[in-house]
A and B are shown apart, each in its own frame.
Chain A
Amino acid sequence: MESKRPVAIEHSQRLEQSQREAAVQPAQPRDAALNGHGQHPMDAERFHEASELILGSINRVIDGKADAAKLALTVLLAQGHLLLEDVPGVGKTLLAKTLARTVDCTVSRIQFTPDLLPSDVTGVSIYNQSSRQFEFRPGAVFANIVIGDEINRASAKTQSALLECMEEHQVTVDGKSYQLGLPFMVVATQNPIEMEGTYPLPEAQRDRFMARISMGYPDKDAEIQMLETHQSSSPLVKVTPVVTANDVAAMIAMVQQVYVSTAIKEYTVAIGRATRDSANLRLGASPRSLLQLLRAAKATAALDGRDFVLPDDVLDVAESVLAHRIILERKAASSGDTPQSILHSILTSVPVAKEPAGAWARERRAG
């Protein structure tokens, strides 16, 4: 595993030097990059086609994890960051790398270790003797997709270096800000915190990940399939990019145009308030988490072929988006509840709409 150097920057095969430089340059104004207005949305057919291509490509490599693959794509399209958490050896890194390779864009990979420094992540200014100037050498974070492997093995200081990048899509070194490209997505993997030699991610950092996925073990057939196909060569070799970074940017723009009705906003807020009011939770869902929940729901709706969000979309992603942010009360934790189980009970109790009153009023208006 020579690839697990402290800092390993990998680029997809098609990456050309010029492209790399373009990615490094703070070419776009920050807000425009965030909102995706620089891109024209793609039409529905192409969106569907592209998403099918990406998912098909991932599913060919990772057997029996279609849900995880779809959620990963959802997070990509919703401009979020993904946290893959599970025991070693279930394909976390493989999923991240496959997703990265499927999209024809810049990819870098950071292997987090306790001695990794923040400047390894963000970049460093070096004095160029010939030009007699300080020159910024971008770190691993300057890529479209950043794979942070075993992120909870790094020190807190290094972990927090990722914070600004993830939330604000920019890097500030020596008082100067550098814009990151679009799409930008951090896919971090981590082992469960019970494992040895790990620093648990602080709440603030966890909150910056849009979703957390537990891969889980593959089922029997998928595992047999995996044993057969993965014996001879790495499945990653066969992965070729199916869409370009521009395509992804267009898809993101399209997702942003998905309509969110007032009813959905109310529903989302109701879920958030229910987590805050729950007696079993010490920390409920933050406003940011609700924003990300809605973004993820928009991406889900778009992947489902709709131009508006349904409560089902919210429900589909709610557990992945919220479960890693909420903190259980001691009593609930000791009685065997998990964040997932508590979230599940909350989601099954929040009414989807104030139906009786609304229906009555509607009927009267109609009558």
Chain B
Amino acid sequence: MSAGQEHRIRPNPGGDGASPDSPTADPTAGSPTSGSLTREPRTAGAGPYPWLMAGSIAVAVLGSSLSLNGVFRGWAWLLPLITTVTVAALSLAALRSLRARPLLATAGSLGMLAAILSFIFCRQESLLGFIPTPATLAAVGKLMQRAAETVVSETAPVPPNAGIVFVMCACLGLLVILMDALAVPLSMPAVSGLGLLAVMVVPATVKPQSVGVAGFLGAGIGYLLILGTSQWFAHDPRLQSGSTRGSSQFKRSMVAGGLALGLALVVPLAIPGFDSGTFPQGSRLSPWGTANGLNPMITLGNSLRSPTGAGRITYATSSGSAEYLRSVTIDSFDGETWSPDDRAGQRRPGTDKIDAGYTLQGPTVPAVTSIDAGQFTSPYLPAPFAPASVNGLSGSWTWDPATLSIMSTDSSTRGQRYVVFSASPKITAQALALANAAPRGISNDFLRIPANLPDIVRKTANTVTASAGNNYDKALAIQKYLRSSEFTYSLQAPVQNGYDGNGLSVLADFLTVKSGYCVHFSSAMAVMARVEGIPSRVAVGYAPGHPTGQSVALVGQGSFPEYEVDARDAHAWPELYFEGLGWVPFEPTPSRGVVPDYATDPTVPGSITSNTDEKNSAATPEAPAPTATPTAGASAAVAGPAEVSTLPVISVGAAGFLLLVAFLCSPRLARTAQRRRRLAVRPPARAGTPPPGYRDPAPGLAWAELQDLATDYGMPSAPSETPRHFSARLRASAALGQAGGIDDAAHVAVASLTSDFERDRYGQPAGRGGVPPAATPAAPRIAVVRESLRSNARWSVRFRAEWVPPSLMHRWSRGLGAPLRSLRTAGNSAGWALTRSWRKLGRLLPERR
């Protein structure tokens, strides 16, 4: 009743439509400002807002994409990306400033994105160079296939080939459109940050330096720009801060932001367990890291740091001691990052006969090794050196004569059980000392020294080997130097000092700091050996494992002890080439691996073996005995030294997680967006008479929101219920709390919303002598009602209302059922039509007597 009291009957002296302030001819006679203001939402230009917002989004996306350096090699990918993102953002801004419908703007920018992608990547296949044709689609298919191959087979940093860059440009272009859709029509600029998060998840998971300072700053600045633009330039009044509150709000946000940043930096330091590994274990921002990228050697560091051993491999060998398992070699030390050279053209298919290609003098020691790769996943096959043949593999495998790395073209090591027959030359110190002939039969690539080799490397190499005579002595001297007490083995030092990577600058840092792990020791030795004229390369694989206590029977060889290795045994070691003896492994890493007899310094006996890791001390040569079936890999995780599938797995996982989160959040987001859209409509607060027949949509929308709110909290309105009855029922129910108590404001709000709606829906329209609608915004009243409903509801009801709002679910299920319903209707009418025509046909036929 109180609602009804508010609007008493107002007499209408002029009668219908003839009231003196009826604005039928007003737009010309009235003040120009009021006339233009009332029509502003449709006709006036959109102002700078669309352009600023599109610019902010472009800056944010490009800024966050800076963190992708290191995932991609070099910067060649940046230019196409800038072009794509700029075009997408510009087209969005243009369409929005032309006040195109939100859906149209999105569709238009999608079209522009397709055009610019065609222009950049498939110019030949496209009509006029940018209009996609079926041929373009075929080309895109090829690009996608190439990208998929890159993702599967390459390790980050991947070369920026057309396929992967196309995928990146398309994704980030779509991201621009998505963020724009979130920020502008859905009015959720804060949520659009999720898109940036999606970009940064990739480097955060695959790069040890995480996002990097540039990417972090770029994304942060862009995000702040988005928020600022929506705050200061948006047409939406809810997003715009009042000018009077501006400064205090700014201060508050500064304090809040500062606190958050401080906490984010301090808390990970305080929490134990956040200091090892990257993403899952220690996802932290290390903005001081260099963005040198990573490759198997870096993932090796991550594997070593992982607290749990993943990718367990078991093997048994007839060689008498635990073997180094080699899966890939690094031989190109050029440029910023070192990575395995696939030599795709030279690889040979089949693993029946593997031949090193150089001649060996002296005897060789044959060995049979049975390996169970378990869950370890990599295209490179771990095998003892030097493999002669491999049996039992499924899939097609190729081998590289230069490095003897065995790689699959179509499968991986996962679940493989195979037997490797290997033959290693019997190497003795005497033989090595004699092997001073110039290397023949191998490529000169193994001797190539990068042009920009840091001075410290050359200087150190020369100093260390100053007194050495032959190649063997030089090698021993370098190894001795690296194993000396000057150097310490540390998994953390490179990370802390910012050279946890590879490349020449890393090498220089390592030689200065003198602390690192196998990657650094082995590459240092390899490069220094080349400086001294010895061909070298770095083998990546596993250090000798530890016995499991079980035995494995090898065919025709008897029973041998089984060893196991996992991610923590990942290792890298240098191999030096000696003419006549082939590639000879050395062990410069202190406390890791087993130093071969030939590599022990004859002058200081025992000094090296004392360094041997206690973990590996169990792997003694006399470990005998044979046997048994290899056990299945225990852990499901995939990580390994030469492993390249981390990137896709993590990105698929992250994408799946994001999808799941998005799916779970979507009702809430949709409901929130709906509420905001409804409440965003402002009542005409400005002076000036509304045009005749104008009906303010705000009360109706507010009412719809009130009804949905009540539905969410278990008080749905019946279709046959009048607004007043519904309002009374709502206020009488326990859902809204007691009138007169703390929830009184909510009762008043419901009453006033009801009377506003009634007046709007059933009252005289303004301009026909009706009462001009009260210019109070509905949003605060809805907020009060919502708060009261929330506080009076049980937690389960509250949860349902917020995460699975029944009003929305009902609408969605209706929407989903609509096609079915229309199908049923169509079926029914078709049936009737058929029946009718059948009857008609029956009448046409001559009657039978």
Contacts and interface: CB of A to CB of B under 8 A. Distances in A.
Contacts of B681: 366
Contact of B764 (A259, A305, A310, A311): A259
Interface stretch (A132-140, A148-156, A344-352): A344-352
Interface residues of B, number: 35
Interface string A301-320: 01011111111100100000
B473 interface: no
A363 B707 CA distance: 14
A336 to B, nearest CB: 23
Contact of B763 (A308, A312, A356, A365): A308
B307 interface: no
B624 to A, nearest CB: 80
B704 A44 contact: no
A366 to B, nearest CB: 4
A43 B13 CA distance: 10
A363 B677 contact: yes
B4 A305 contact: yes
A184 interface: no
Contacts of A305: 4-5, 7-9
A74 B722 CA distance: 21
A163 B801 CA distance: 59
Given A305-B4, A315-B722, A263 B697 contact: no
A302 B720 contact: no
B199 to A, nearest CB: 30
A36 interface: no
Given A349-B720, A367-B677, A308 B11 contact: no
Contacts of B102: 367
A190 to B, nearest CB: 32
B342 interface: no
Nearest to B811: A356
A351 B721 CA distance: 7
A258 B7 CA distance: 13
Interface stretch (B567-575, B627-635, B661-669, B754-762): B754-762
Interface string B672-684: 0000011001000
A118 to B, nearest CB: 41
A189 B7 CA distance: 36
Given A304-B4, A362-B700, A310 B720 contact: no
Contacts of A307: 7-10, 12, 763-764, 771
Contacts of B763: 259, 261, 307-308
A66 B831 CA distance: 57
Contacts, number: 96
Contacts of A21: none
A261 B761 contact: yes
Nearest to A43: B11
B10 A352 contact: no
A359 interface: yes
Interface in B592-617: none
A47 interface: yes
Contacts of B698: 366
A367 B5 CA distance: 32
A350 B758 contact: no
A29 B160 CA distance: 95
B720 A306 contact: no
A310 B762 contact: yes
A257 interface: yes
A363 B7 CA distance: 26
Contacts of B700: 359, 362
Contacts of B677: 363, 366-367
B683 to A, nearest CB: 12
Nearest to A358: B700
Contact of A351 (B697, B720, B725, B764): B720
A264 interface: yes
B704 A363 contact: yes
Contacts of A315: 722
B761 A312 contact: no
A48 interface: yes
* Most B C-beta atoms less than 10 A away, residue of A264, A304, A307, A363: A307
B697 A365 contact: yes
A32 to B, nearest CB: 16
A351 B720 CA distance: 4
Nearest to B678: A363
A241 B79 CA distance: 93
Given A308-B759, A363-B678, A366-B701, A352 B8 contact: no
Given A261-B761, A363-B677, A306 B723 contact: no
Interface in B744-787: 758-759, 761-764, 770-771
A363 B701 CA distance: 7
B704 A311 contact: no
Contact of A44 (B9, B678, B814): B9
A355 interface: yes
Contacts of A312: 722, 724-725
B846 interface: no
B721 A352 contact: yes
Interface string B709-749: 00000000011111111000000000000000000000000
A349 B719 CA distance: 8
A348 B9 contact: no
Interface string B3-28: 01101111110000000000000000
Contact of B9 (A302, A347, A351): A302
Nearest to B759: A308
B9 A311 contact: no
A69 interface: no
A364 to B, nearest CB: 10
A347 B720 contact: yes
Given A351-B719, A352-B719, A355-B719, A310 B9 contact: no
A43 B758 CA distance: 22
B720 A44 contact: no
B722 A359 contact: no
Contact of A308 (B697, B718, B724, B764): B764
Contact of A263 (B9, B724, B761): B761
B721 A263 contact: no
Interface string A331-363: 000000000000000011111110110010011
Nearest to B7: A306
Contacts of A349: 720
A264 B764 CA distance: 12
A183 interface: no
Contacts of A258: 9
Given A259-B764, A351-B719, A310 B7 contact: no
Given A261-B761, A359-B700, A366-B701, A306 B4 contact: yes
A304 B4 CA distance: 7
B400 to A, nearest CB: 62
A311 B723 contact: yes
Given A43-B11, A366-B697, A308 B762 contact: yes
A299 to B, nearest CB: 12
B697 A310 contact: no
B645 to A, nearest CB: 46
A259 B4 contact: no
Given A263-B761, A308-B758, 19 more contacts: A44-B8, A48-B8, A254-B9, A259-B762, A259-B764, A261-B763, A305-B8, A306-B4, A307-B9, A307-B10, A307-B763, A308-B759, A308-B762, A311-B762, A353-B761, A355-B719, A356-B814, A359-B700, A365-B697
Interface of A: 41, 43-45, 47-48, 254, 257-259, 261, 263-264, 302, 304-312, 315, 347-353, 355-356, 359, 362-363, 365-367
Interface of B: 4-5, 7-12, 102, 677-678, 681, 697-698, 700-701, 704, 707, 718-725, 758-759, 761-764, 770-771, 814
13 contacts: A259-B764, A261-B764, A302-B9, A305-B8, A307-B7, A307-B10, A308-B759, A308-B764, A312-B725, A350-B720, A352-B723, A362-B700, A367-B102
Report the 7 A-B pairs with minimum CB-CB distance, sorted nearest first. Answer: A351-B719, A44-B9, A307-B9, A366-B697, A311-B722, A308-B763, A259-B764
